[in-house]
Structure 1
Amino acid sequence: MVATALAANQSAVESGPETGAFGRIRAHLTAKSADALVSMILELAERDPALFRKLDIASAGDSLDEKTLAARLSKAIDKATETRGHIGYDEAGGWAASVEEALDALDALDSKRDGLLLKLAERAIDRIESAIEWIDDSDGECGALLERARDIHVRAARGARPEPVTLARDLFHRELEDEYGCFENAAWLYADVLGEAGLAEYRRLATEAWEKLPPLTGGDRKKFEADYSGLSGILDRFADREGDVETRIALRAKDLSSQWKYFELAEFCLKHKGADEALRWAEEGLWTFEDVFAADLLLKAKRRGEAEAVLKRAFERSPDFNIYVHWGAAGGERARDQAIALIERRASGEPAPFFGHLADLGVKILMHDRQFDAAWAMTRKHRVSRTVKEGLARASEADHPREALEVYAERVDELAKAGGDPAYSEAAGLVARMGRLRAPAEQAAYVAALKERFHRKRNFMKLLEGRE
């Protein structure tokens, strides 16, 4: 069959396009009037239900008002995607063809209908996803239908230009809740529609959700249903866009729930930081899982003292938050006091083999145990990274508003000086957050001072005025 097709193709090339029967038919139809052609198509549609449905839906877009058209197309989508029970392999192709017809109708809508098309594409996506569990999709047709519906949605968004921040919120929730990858990498698929304001909101939502997740240690993944990989993937793409390797490492270091996670982190470090950093993470993974496994066995055998000793040695060899979580669970306050004492000694002396500032680990431990007074004392005594300090500010702002306000004010200045709409949006969000931590008069004086210092940053000024 392949050889015959190739020979036929070659024959067509040699003798010119559409020779034979198709050439005659084309010449015959070209000579007909438009009315005659319309009559022929209508006769065919009377005998072909699929053609009739396609023409019926396509013609509706030319004459119906938007409300009636929306109802007609919504009904077509619902009818095409209904399952009424399990659809076996032999029936799946027919079901998919029916959905294709409905998507053809959406694709045929005029660009003036892009606002309606956006809603209809979302309906189609939701209906297809709901139907998948009832279908034997061995040939992967549902995935292709979802991809096509998503592409229609992207096109409609480019034409309709919905409000960027609202679109960002919708796409973010769809990406996280999506089981079939339809909206994976949505921020960049829709980047031209989202613009800087939408992308900034997307990043803010991902960062806010990410900061609420606790670090994962060996064996902990089963305790949490949160989408670590989804959120870290979103934030990783933003960090990659800015060339921020340190943030990309920190994202990967938050989920070290398996030896494979350590391996992935080591592999990333080898590519971006060099062999020494990669080897450190690889060795830590081996130590962590060996020591934690041994300690868990000792705890099950009711040999708590020996388990604490194993975890203490592991922490002393390589101070690590994941090991501390297990040590703290076994040893309580005594373990925390010993861990902090070790960090204090090493932070005051020579650098220890720990990613970032060693005091970061101490603050994380104290935050984990909700010892916020001690955590703030450590930030004043030792060098602590901005990310950890901001995390502490958010976690303890109710009890330590003054300290949190100082951290936020420092960050606002950094963002305002850096410039750019995403930075301005983040800064304005922090300013609004600060307003909830102090009296209105004090906040008004702070905003007035900001405006005086950064009055030339017009986009920043607009955001500040919009939040007053």
Structure 2
Amino acid sequence: MNNVLGFDEDELRRLAGSRSFERGLAYVSSVSAMEIGDWSITATADGTDAYEVELTEQADGLTGRCSCPYGQEGNFCKHCVAVALEVLRQAESVPRHRAAAASRGRQLTTWLESRSRDELLSLVKEHIADNRDLRHRLELRAATAGDDSGAVRERILGLLDTRPFARYGYVEYADAQAYGLQAAEAVLALRTLTETGRAKEAVEVARDAIEALTRTYGEIDDSDGVIGNVATELASVHLEACRTARPDPVGTADWLVDHLLDDLSDATDILLPEYADALGAAGLARAHERAAAALRDNPKGWAEKYLMEQLMRAEGSVDALIALHAADLAPSGATHLLIAQDLERASRPAEALEWAERGLREADPEHGPDSRLPDFVCERYTRAGRTADVVPIRRDVLLHHRSLAAYQGLRAAARAVGCWNETERTRALEVLRADARPRKSLGPTGSALVDALLDDGDHDAAWEAATSGYADGSQWLTLADLTRNDRPADALAVYLRLIGPLLTQTGDATYEHLTELLLSARACHRALGTEDAFTAYMTALRADQKRKRKLTTRLDQHGL
């Protein structure tokens, strides 16, 4: 690792994957407006749009967030890679930037502390006059400190109102962050009520707040999970208030059961057993009575069954819980696994393994068991020193789930007992080959065969399989990216094949992808010493695509 930063290029490649890392290399020059703080780094990376990137160094490693579509899905994208690479390039100056950020923070604190009460009051008034959100938050804190319960409830529910942020009745991703910041103020206000001796009031308002948010949660693009975190915090505040105020246990049990059986309850992740202290014996008995009645009315209901499971676990009724599960065993073995896990938690490992093994035997022979069930059994076999027994299970998993993960599981198990030889590997690859279908075009579906060969680092065999029709466009691109240095001519042919169809398309995403492929093609020509040929190719391409001004601008930005 870098001695100043907690990451290096190897770590970035691991976080992003080889393809995103390679693509990020081409975007380093597009990084601008970088600010380095104590533990976070923000910057803009120009792609299809100007994307906002934030890198954070935490105890468990580097994390990255980006406003691009791929980044919004939680991936460490090429823009995160580009910013991180630019930080590494400036590594020597990072301590100076961090010291400057810390100094500015101390300077601001010192300055604020030196102001008089009237000066600070004037400063706050100045800012709330221009910032409606800040004014509303401070008004709520003022109301929370007072005695007007109605005003507090009204303002808290107002903070959870999505209408000011909704376009066409829906809170889009671009507005979700701002809404989340506002909604978080409701959590703070509720917590303040409990801490200032008004826990009973907090219980009632928290219920209303939870119900308000769960009704609208499905109308919010919460790709970053910000609103989900607020919902979880609302549930936490409600629990804290219940533990402090000790409201009517039967009424509390009724509210919890009604909420947990509601189709909209997923956002809060409330677990009824966590309320055991607040509910007491009477509340738990009422919850059990309600849950049992709901399950009788709807024996197949997921919410009803899950609620009863929670209560049985809280009561320590392991055998009753097993009976509940055993009454409806899934053909995938997933229910057998739940039983095994419950038995293991109850310190009954032998019975747990028996149920898991039974699940393997009874699983649907056509589709095989849920992949988690073999994992459970194999882990217990390994602990017991039965590593040889793991291999046949992993072979069976590969037969039913012909995927890269299944191949990797068999390879690891066979290596552990020294039987991963050419015969075993060939047999495993043939299973994957039989599942694939050769294609004559760059179709939409690749094969686990190519993925496995790439994972083995057997690039020659991967090229052979791809050439025989077992790869899709994405796998061809991955193969070209991985072997570009060793096989530049072959990689170049792939890039040119992928470029061709894009030349008839339009749109920012198309232009971005096309630019990346052209950069890769240029690298191949450089490795082959045929840069003149690439120059001629680009001249012809530019002439043919001259009407696409956005594409021309992007090509200019990257020196193409």
TM-score by length of 1: 0.50
Identify, as 1 or 2, the structure richer in helix. 1
- Choose between structure 1 and 2: higher strand proportion: 2
Task: Provide TM-score, normalisation by structure 2.
Answer: 0.42
